[in-house]
């Protein structure tokens, strides 16, 4: 490892170092991972303390909606991954189309999420609602975590959309092109992380009845 870095370094600032840029991005992803990790610890402890009530509460969630959203998000990861191949091949409009598809799918995910939350609110399952307060404590905790974790995930979806929209602009203006696309790679890495977090949120909230 050392010998390599030593060889790469003399170029210093004058030479672009894409590996270094990606390294920074990966380190940033770890912080996001641990951020959600903190919530997964809370989830694990409360699930351990209130097993029956967590099972009961999970039946309130619509498995179909969750599955659809999972597939939507997986597909959006596919399109953004393919956009990198497109840019490597110099196919600018294809790359833009693929990033655009990712944005559309992300939006679909959010719309779906909105209706899901909206439905929960109509049946009175929201933090502090009279309906929820009278339920067992494990159920209250489950829904507290449900809102916080999916809410924070949705926030990351929105941030990811902004990042990818900017990347799309960069492709259009030619800032990102065949010879230089590390920014698109970084944006895609962020998007895949959002996907990975959902890969865990989905079974933990929707499937463990």
Partner 1 sequence: MEQHDHSSSPHDAPHTVSYVTYLLIWLALVMLTGLTVALAGVDLGRWIIITALTIASIKTMLVLEVFMHLKFEDKTFRLFVLVACVTFAIFITLTFFDYAFA
Partner 2 sequence: MAIASAVPVSVEPDFYHTKTKYKGILGWIFTTDHKRIGILYLVTMLVFFFTAATLGVLMRLEMLTPGRTFVDAQTYNTFFTLHGIMMIFLFIIPGLPAVFGNFLMPIMIGAKDVFFPRLNLLSWWLFLFGGIFALVSVFLPGGAADTGWTFYVPYSVRTSTNVIPALSAAFILGFSSILTGLNFITTIHRMRAPGMTWFRMPLFVWSLYSTAWIQVLATPIIGITLLLIAIERWFGVGIFDPTLGGDPVLYQHLFWIYSHPAVYIMILPGLGVVSEILPVFARRTIFGYKFIAFSSLAIAFVGSLVWAHHMFTVGMSNTGMFVFSFLTFLVSIPSAIKVFNWIATLYKGSIEISAPLLFILSFIIQFCIGGFTGLILGTLAINIHVQDTYFVVGHFHYVMFGGTGFGLFAALHYWYPKMFGKMYKQAPAYISWFLATVGFNLLYFPMFVLGYEGMPRRYYDYLPEFQTVHQIATVGSWILYAGIVVMFVNLVVSLWRGEKATANPWGGETLEWKVPSPPPLENFDEIPVVTTGPYDYSKYEKAAQEVK
What residues line the site for partner 1 (CB under 8 A)? 1, 3-4, 8, 11, 15-20, 22-23, 26-27, 30, 33-34, 37, 40-41, 44-45, 48-49, 63, 67, 70-71, 74-75, 77-78, 81-82, 84-85, 88-89, 179-180, 182, 185, 188-189, 192, 195-196, 199-200, 202-204, 206-209
Q: Does 30 bind partner 2 (CB under 8 A)?
A: yes
Rounded to the nearest 10 degrees, how much is the dihedral formed by the CA atoms of 144, 145, 149, 150? Answer: -60
| Bridge partners for 180 per DSSP | 177
- Distance between CA 73 and CA 130 in Å, rounded? 34
Nearer to partner 2, 37 or 100 (CB): 37
Binding residue (CB under 8 A) for partner 2 from 56, 101, 148, 154: 148
Q: 123 CB contacts (<8 Å, ≥6 apart)?
A: 131
CB 49 within 8 A of CB 177: no
Span near partner 2 by CB under 8 A; candidates 11-19, 82-90, 106-114, 186-194? 11-19
Nearer to partner 2, 64 or 122 (CB): 122
Q: 201 CB contacts (<8 Å, ≥6 apart)?
A: 149, 150, 153
Token pair belonging to 65: 């909606």
- Distance between CA 71 and CA 199 in Å, rounded? 10
- At residue 58's C-alpha, the angle toward residues 52 and 62, to 5°, is 160
The residue behind tokens 């909606």 is 65
Nearer to partner 2, 84 or 148 (CB): 148
Residue 128 backbone zone (phi > 0: left; psi -120 to 50: alpha; other: beta): left
Nearer to partner 2, 28 or 117 (CB): 28
Binding residue (CB under 8 A) for partner 2 from 32, 88, 92, 163: 32
Q: Does 58 bind partner 2 (CB under 8 A)?
A: no
Q: Does 111 bind partner 2 (CB under 8 A)?
A: no
Q: What 3-state class would DSSP assign to 160?
A: helix
Rule CB under 8 A: which residues touch partner 2? 1-3, 5-10, 12-13, 17, 19-20, 23-24, 27-28, 30-39, 41-42, 45-46, 49-50, 127-128, 136-138, 140-141, 144-145, 147-148
């Amino acid at each position: 490892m050392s010998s390599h870095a030593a060889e790469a370094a003399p170029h210093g600032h004058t030479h672009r170092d894409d590996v270094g840029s990606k390294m920074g991005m990966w380190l940033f992803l770890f912080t996001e991972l641990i951020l959600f990790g903190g919530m997964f610890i809370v989830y694990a402890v409360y699930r351990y303390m209130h097993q029956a009530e967590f099972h009961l509460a999970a039946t309130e969630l619509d498995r179909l909606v969750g599955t659809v959203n999972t597939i939507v998000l997986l597909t959006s990861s596919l399109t953004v991954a393919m956009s990198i191949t497109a840019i490597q091949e110099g196919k600018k409009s294809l790359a833009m189309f693929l990033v655009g598809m990712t944005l559309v799918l992300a939006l679909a995910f959010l719309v779906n999420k909105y209706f899901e939350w909206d439905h929960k609110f109509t049946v009175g399952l929201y933090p502090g609602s009279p309906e929820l307060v009278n339920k067992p404590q494990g159920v209250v905790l489950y829904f507290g975590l449900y809102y916080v974790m999916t809410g924070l995930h949705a926030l990351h979806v929105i941030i990811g959309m902004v990042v990818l929209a900017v990347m799309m602009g960069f492709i259009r203006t030619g800032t990102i092109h065949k010879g230089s696309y590390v920014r698109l790679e970084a944006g895609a890495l962020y998007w895949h992380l959002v996907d990975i977090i959902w890969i865990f949120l989905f079974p933990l909230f929707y499937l463990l009845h």
